[in-house]
Each structure stands twice: as C-alpha cells, then as structure tokens.
Amino acid sequence: MQVAAPQLAAQLQRGLRSLYTVHGDDPLLVQEAGDAIRAAARAQGFTERTVHTVAGAHFDWSAVLASGAEMSLFADKQLIEVRIPSGKPGKDGSQALQQLAEGAAGNDAALTLVVLPRLDMATQKSAWFAALDAHGVTVRVEPVDRKALPNWIAQRLQLQGQRVAAGDEGQRTLQFFADRVEGNLLAAHQEIQKLALLHPPGELSFEQVEAAVLNVARYDAFKLAEAVLGGQLPRVQRMLDGLQAEGEAPVLVHWALADDVRTLYRVRAALDTGKPLPVALRESRVWGAKEKLMERVLPNLGAGTLSRWLQDAHTVDGIVKGLKAEGWPTDPWQALQQFAMRVAQGCAAR
C-alpha cells in the first residue's frame, strides 16, 4: 500500500503495520517520515532497535533475516531498520527483501523499516520492491517544489506558534527566507528552529527574519542547473554569486551545467530519430523536476543550438582548469556566468 508522506500520520493513527518502506531524496523529509514511524513503534512497545546499513555487493543479508526471526532478549518487540543508500540491494538482497516482506505479516514481535533513496519507475517495478509494497506500507517522500517553499516555511513556523505579517509584507518575508536557503529543506528547518529560540511565539517582522537567516544560504550546484533549465536569470546570478562566496569548486559547478547540456543534446538526438519524448527522457535517466523542465524546453531546442552549447561547455571546461580561450573571460567564475546565462536565456526564450 502506497501513501504520500503527508498522509503518513493519519495512516499511523489508524494502526501500526509490521512493514514500512520509505523512499525519497530529501534527507530532512525522509528522516521525519522515519522518525514518525519510530515514535509510533515505541508507543506500541517496540523498544529495541537494530539498524543494518547495506554497503557493498558482499553485504551479509543473513544478519538481517536473523534479526526478524529471532526473539529479542531485552524487549518483547523490536524495530528492525534496513538502510540501503544506493537503492540497489543486489541479487541476494532482492531475495532477502522478498523473504523479509513475506515473513513480516505474521510477525507481531518485529516491525521492519526499510529506508531507500528516490527510486526510478523501473526499480519500483522490481520483484523486491513489489513485495515490500504488497506486504506493508510504502511511503513516497516527494521533494518540496521551489514555488511551494514559502508556504512550507509558513506551515513550519505555525507549528512552533510563529507567523509572518499578513498580506504582501508577509509574502515578501517568506520569499526572502526561501531565496536564502535555496531549496535546502534541512537548512530551512534549522533556521526555523533558530527563530523559535530567538523570538517568542507570535508575529515575526521582516527585520527579525532577515537578521536570523541573512548569512545562511546553502547553494547547490545541481539546483543551479535546474534554475538554468528554468530560464530563471536573476536566480541563476544569485546562485552563482552564492556558490562562489561559499568557496564551491568551479569544476563541480561546470560539471552540473555541462551534464545537463549533454543530456539535452542526447535526448534531442533521440527525438530526431523518431523516439517519443517520454521514452527518450527515460532512456537518459531523466526524472523529477528536470524531467518537467526538459519536457518544456526540448521541443523548441534544435540540434544546432545544443551543439553550440556543447562547444561552450568544452571551452569553459578548459577555462576552469586554467586554459585560455579567445572571446571568453580568463576568470573561471566569469566564464561560468557567461555560459550559464547563455543557456538560461535560451531556455527562457522557449
């Protein structure tokens, strides 16, 4: 049974199941979903907890299976947590997870929690994931869209008894907050908690929020690449400035931008051979926010434009490694800005 993360609390209130699977990429939301399940388990007497982290192809799955089969020496009920950071359990893991799922239904003395990263559709159709879903509750943790972040912040403030001013002033405060944390929910969560420590419950002014979060922006090279695909020129400039100020390596920023350009070129080539856009995107392993962005811009991006962007990416690769190129700045960050803005303007025009 699949449920979205916001519906998890209601499901737990209806009754605790013996098997839960949580999958998603945002560390804060995955952690919170897991914490909710752990808290409900403790309330039901699952006082002993065993954690298994699957690392490498030679992981010993027998220890996981034994945890579910053995009675606890110290508690009547135990929580067995299996973390698979790669999302790929392997052949032995696939069989073990299916066996674990089938045995969970009849085991009232153990609750199993499987934690995974975001899974593509092919993985969600695998036999091991289907077994987990069929015998338990699967919690799908979706990222918070950038446009929804101000409302998300407002809801979190409300939970601790704080709020911003009504009307445009409050919206400006929330937008400022969202801009400073740049989609990093963990950073936003930490700053919301800081506001609870600094100020009593009630209305927060723009000046109070500004003073608390002014210097805590967490910029992400991969979020920058999404902003470029979205044609968000002011945000691209702000993120480039932030990444440079935080000491990010120019080579990583270039890699994130160039990787998207290579993907656009590859998908465009597949479209030109007659493949449908959804199929071409899936074959290039594009999903989530980038899938929607590329679906919007690709139909109007020609192979010629993408070839020029690929050449630009090659040129800037040399600049960030110390080479010079005619017509381009010698400073790596200035070259990255010229490259990013060129692609962002092309995407915005679509």
DSSP letter string over 56-67?
A: STT--HHHHHHH
CATH topology for 2-140?
Rossmann fold (3.40.50)
Tokens standing for residue 308: 């020029």
Domain with CATH 1.10.8.60 in the chain: 146-213
Torsion of CA 27, 33, 34, 38, to 10 degrees: 150
Q: Rounded to whole angstroms, how far apart are CA atoms 245 and 243?
A: 5
H helical segments located in 214-276: 221-229, 233-245, 250-272
Architecture of domain 146-213: Orthogonal Bundle (1.10)
Domain with CATH 1.20.272.10 in the chain: 221-348
Per-residue pLDDT at 150: 93
Helices and strands counted in the chain (H then E): 17, 8
Cβ(119)–Cβ(23) under 8 Å? yes
Strand partners, 77: 46
Architecture of domain 221-348: Up-down Bundle (1.20)
Q: What is the mean pLDDT of residues 174-196?
A: 86
pLDDT tens, 15-46? 899 999 999 988 899 999 999 999 999 999 88
Which pTM does this prediction carry?
0.63
pLDDT tens, 48-103? 888 999 876 678 888 888 876 665 555 578 899 999 988 888 888 999 999 888 88
Per-residue pLDDT at 218: 58
Torsion of CA 192, 198, 204, 205, to 10 degrees: -110
Domain with CATH 3.40.50.300 in the chain: 2-140
**Dihedral pair phi/psi, residue 148, rounded to 5°:** -90, -5
What is the overall mean pLDDT for the chain? 88
Residue of higher predicted confidence among 272 and 65: 272
Q: Indicate the pLDDT class of residue 219, thresholds 50, 70 and 90.
A: low
Per-residue pLDDT at 68: 63
